């Protein structure tokens, strides 16, 4: 419901809800998913800019190749600063599957600065957010700064993909490979304060919980 009152007890107005959604989308990168985000060049300067056209075409192919799986929403925006030779790419992708109790998003911002002919300096930042809420509430948030590097203009998307694999994803794979070993052992006490070792048999505890629920229902 919406309302227009100014008192503390009034309902939230539609304008307030829209403003909050707009700010949230801008901070997370989700605004590029909206219909108002037009990634095609419209002014004459960018129409005649070969690097802008190359980046625009390259991002369309990149999105199609890596961010078009079933259930994934993705898009990007491309902008150029006037007379500075700087380009900014904002990429956002998300997959929300409430029926399977999980969701996740990938936000990446890349900044390119033109150098000598046919070369650019590129740097960036990637933010990951994964959320699983089946029989619990587990979230992963990770922010990765990408090191500045100078490459040829024909190597931009190879560099982005290399960053994704080696700088962003591989460290996470290494962490989760050892998650059930040293990491969880370091998080829990060797001996609890009760001086009784905890039984980590998940199935056993789940069975006790279901049995308790059945007894409660019979009562």
Report pLDDT digits (tens) over 106-131: 999 999 999 887 899 999 999 999 99
User: Of 24-33, 143-152, 175-184, 208-217, which has the strongest mean pLDDT?
Assistant: 143-152
DSSP strand E in the chain: where?
Answer: 72-80, 86-97, 102-114, 119-132, 138-152
pLDDT of residue 1: 41
Q: What is the rounded distance in angstroms from the CA atom of residue 78 to the CA atom of residue 90?
A: 7
Q: Which residues contact 109 (CB under 8 A, 6 or more apart)?
A: 29, 88, 89, 90, 91, 124, 125
Q: What is the rounded distance in angstroms from the CA atom of residue 17 to the CA atom of residue 35?
A: 18
Task: Indicate the pTM of the whole model.
Answer: 0.70
Residue 45 predicted with pLDDT over 60 = yes
Lowest mean pLDDT among 116-130, 136-150, 185-199: 185-199
Residue 11 gets which letter from DSSP? P
Compute φ and ψ for 100, nearest 5 degrees: -105, 10
- The C-alpha R_g of the chain, in whole angstroms, comes to 24
Residue 9 predicted with pLDDT over 90 = no
Residue 43 predicted with pLDDT over 80 = no
Q: Work out the number of other CB atoms within 10 angstroms of the CB of residue 106.
A: 21
Q: What is the rounded distance in angstroms from the CA atom of residue 125 to the CA atom of residue 32?
A: 17
Instruction: Give alpha helix (H) positions in 138-201.
Output: 156-162, 170-177, 184-187
Q: Which residues contact 3 (CB under 8 A, 6 or more apart)?
A: 10, 11, 12, 13
pLDDT of residue 10: 53
pLDDT of residue 140: 87
Residue 69 predicted with pLDDT over 70 = yes
Q: What's the whole-number mean pLDDT along residues 187-200?
A: 64
Q: What's the whole-number mean pLDDT along residues 83-107?
A: 92
pLDDT of residue 181: 64
pLDDT band at 202 (very low <50, low <70, confident <90, very high): low
């Amino acid at each position: 419901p919406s309302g227009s009152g100014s008192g503390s007890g009034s309902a939230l107005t539609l304008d307030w809800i829209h403003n909050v959604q707009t700010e949230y989308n801008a901070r997370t990168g989700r605004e590029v998913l909206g219909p108002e985000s037009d990634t095609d060049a419209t002014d004459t300067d960018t129409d005649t800019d070969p690097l802008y056209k190359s980046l625009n075409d390259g991002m369309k192919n990149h999105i199609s190749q890596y961010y078009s799986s079933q259930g994934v929403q993705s898009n990007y925006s491309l902008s150029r600063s006037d007379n500075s030779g700087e380009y900014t790419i904002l990429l956002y992708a998300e997959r929300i599957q409430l029926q399977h109790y999980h969701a996740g998003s990938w936000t990446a911002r890349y900044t390119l600065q033109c150098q000598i002919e046919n070369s650019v300096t590129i740097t960036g930042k990637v933010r990951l957010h994964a959320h699983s809420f089946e029989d619990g509430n587990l979230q992963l948030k990770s922010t990765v700064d990408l090191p500045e590097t100078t490459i040829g203009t024909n190597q931009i998307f190879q560099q982005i993909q290399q960053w994704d694999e080696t700088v962003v994803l591989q460290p996470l794979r290494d962490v989760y490979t050892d998650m059930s070993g040293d990491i969880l052992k370091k998080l829990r006490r060797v001996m609890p304060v009760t001086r009784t070792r905890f039984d980590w048999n998940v199935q056993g505890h789940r069975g006790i919980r279901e049995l308790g629920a059945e007894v409660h229902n019979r009562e």
